[in-house]
Amino acid sequence: MDLRMEFVLRARARGCNVSELCREYQVSRKTGYKWLSRYDQRGVAGLEEMARRPRRVVQTTGEVVLRIQELRRAHPRWGPKKLRVLLTRELAASAVPSAKTIARILERLGESKLRKPRRRAAPVSLQSSQGEAASGPNDLWTADFKGWWKTKRGERCEPLTVRDAFSRFVLLAKAMPRISARAVKKAFARLFEQFGLPKRIHVDNGQPFASVRARGRLTEISAWWVSLGIKVEFSRPAHPQDNGAHERMHGDMRFELEDHPKDTIGGEQRAFDVWVHDFNHVRPHEALGMNTPATLYHRSPRPYRGPRIARYPARFEQRRVAANGSIRLATSRLFVGTGFRGHTVAIERVDAQTVRFWFHEVDLGQEKLDPSPRRCSETIAEASSSARCSAKRLGEETQSLRPSSKKRTHRDSIVSPLAKAEPRSQKARHNQRNKKEIHKNTADKR
């Protein structure tokens, strides 16, 4: 008591360094500031030794211990904090032990698994690589394909996953036999009908969501999203941490689903459905204050009504992209991308030889026009004429090879092929003239 009072009096002196004073009294800075705080709140009585017994003692019964063991075996990767939340849903608050008590119970039962200590990274907020935070449900969705695995029968399983970044709500976990743009588009159409449209979707740079060689990195899927009024955001190349929370969810799927494969794709899908229900409605999330994603998520107010009508400024020229991904501008044919086929793009004249492509509000970059007078249409016409000539020659050669109904003489069989043959060099022409003279002399003698 006297030592603490002396410490407080010296610490209150003008110009005193509390850190040096704590080192002199051989106490931590935390303890020193605790004494000062208690003195300010309660005076001299605050410096007296306080009782160290727990404020609340819970007598853990055998039934509670057995329930803890059952929950642990049902969720082997869940820690004491999550298990305690599950107990609070079943038991009265006075009967639920603390998380530390649950940890000691699991250790005595042999149910705890020691993990290697790892370095904790800086906390990551719910934001995309563009720096815009997810402010509410359906503000940002994340989508990705988890690494594939094989079923027990050797079938390939490609899990497509979609989640809401704000609430962690898993919107879709679909087992697919292969990555197909048509199947992915169909799955997202059903998803939009069920949950509405988000404001943004964040994906990586892999197919079928993105292509680093395409204009704006847009593919058939991402261009369709833009036509629906959804902003598409891409991760930086070789930076999976830009979608780190989604990758963390894939880690859970790795241990809880991939390590326990089913016989068929149908069996995998049934396991996916059970896992998604537990993830959304049962599992507490520490980042959500130990709440479940289902308590925070709600349907989007933006209904799915199909692609919107493209509206561009009056000075822009509009073209519909053909099936081969090209558009016609005057006498030129310019390639935009196969991902935009069927959509309408706008053309902005930058200068006499440069144009800029727009797809709704997305800038697709510039394109240099061919300054030569020969246009793509001329090249196509020449190619068509050449093809017709080739077909005509092929028909003549085929007709010459067919057996003629007219009886051919010995002279026709010798002279006609030579007369119709086209000499290829001076030596060939000389030989042909000699043969003609020989045949003429032979005919005169006869």
- What local confidence, expressed as pLDDT, does residue 438 receive? 67
Assess contact for 345 and 226: CB atoms under 8 A: no
At 159 the pLDDT is: 96
Q: In sequence order, which residues have a C-beta less than 8 Å from that of residue 192 and are 6 or more positions away?
A: 228, 304
The CATH fold of domain 63-109: Arc Repressor Mutant, subunit A (1.10.10)
* Percentage of residues in the chain having pLDDT higher than 90: 50
Question: Over 60: is that where the pLDDT of 64 sits?
Answer: yes
Most confident of 38-42, 99-103, 157-161: 157-161
- Does 116 score more than 70 pLDDT? no
In order, the DSSP letters of 27-49 are --HHHHHHHHHHHHHHGGGGGSP
Q: No. of H helices and E strands in the chain?
A: 13, 12
Q: What percentage of residues in the chain have a pLDDT greater than 70?
A: 77
Write down the pLDDT at residue 133. 78
User: Of 169, 194, 174, which is closest to residue 279 (Cα–Cα)?
Assistant: 169
| Rounded distance between C-alpha atoms, residue 43 and residue 49, angstroms | 13
What is the C-alpha separation between 379 and 370, in angstroms, rounded? 13
Tens of pLDDT, residues 351-410 = 888 999 999 999 999 988 876 644 444 444 454 555 455 555 545 554 554 544 444 444
Average pLDDT over residues 25-42: 90
Whole-model pTM: value is: 0.68
Whole-number pLDDT of residue 57:
62
More confident residue, 364 or 48: 364
Low-confidence winner among 246-250, 400-404, 435-439 (lowest mean pLDDT): 400-404
The one-letter code for the residue type at 273 is: D
Q: What is the mean pLDDT of residues 302-326?
A: 93
Task: Quote the tokens at residue 32.
Answer: 């020193």
The residue that leads in pLDDT, 227 or 441, is 227
* 74-77 contacts, C-beta under 8 A, 24 or more apart: 75/283, 77/252, 77/255, 77/256
| Assigned CATH for 140-295 | 3.30.420.10
Spatial CA neighbour of 339 closest among 199, 236, 210, 183: 210
pLDDT given for residue 52 in this prediction: 72
- Counting beta carbons within 10 angstroms of the beta carbon of residue 3, is it exposed (0 to 12), middle (13 to 18) or buried (19 or more)? exposed
d(CA 125, CA 142): 14
- Domain ranges in the chain? 2-47, 63-109, 140-295, 317-368
